[in-house]
Copies of this chain bind each other. A is one copy, B any other.
Amino acid sequence: MRVTISRKAHFNAAHRLFRKDWSDAQNISVFGKCSNPHYHGHNYELIAHITGEIDPETGYVMDMKVLKDLIKEKIEDEFDHKNLNEEVPEFIDLIPTAENMAVVIYQKLIPHLNDKHDLSVTLYETPRNYVTFSG
């Protein structure tokens, strides 16, 4: 009786896509306007999916409130209203593409989950672009 529970969360952040070890021309050639040195930003929509057995006593895979609070503490409080490149340690040396962000979010959440649970992370960068990482 494995069920997946999914919880949506939200944060707003600024970022830019660029590599310090590349010239401006190279950054613009690969990342286009996403490499704007003055930054741009997004309303990120995050969905954390947890798969596990239903606890027959509670009918829960995991208490959604616990999951909500975990996402708030580990992700929203760290990323919301931040400049990802400048203020979030994980992206000092890692380009904050949606792909890398999904992996980082996964790595920040997984240590706090029951080890019988599987995690998958979906991150919407815009309503038209999103990524999913499942470990």
Q: Which residues of A contact B (CB under 8 A)?
A: 1-10, 12-15, 17, 19, 30-34, 36, 38-43, 54, 57-61, 63-65, 80-83, 86-87, 94-100, 102-103, 126-133
Does A83 lie within 8 Å of B39, measured CB to CB?
Answer: yes
Choose among A59, A61, A86 the residue with the greatest number of B CB atoms under 10 Å from its CB: A59
CB distance from A53 to the nearest CB of B (A): 10
Given A8-B128, A10-B127, A60-B97, 20 further pairs, Cβ under 8 A: A1-B103, A2-B133, A5-B98, A6-B129, A8-B127, A9-B128, A12-B40, A13-B40, A14-B39, A14-B83, A30-B63, A31-B58, A33-B81, A39-B83, A40-B83, A42-B42, A42-B43, A59-B97, A60-B99, A61-B131
Does A59 lie within 8 Å of B17, measured CB to CB?
Answer: yes
CB distance from A63 to the nearest CB of B (A): 8
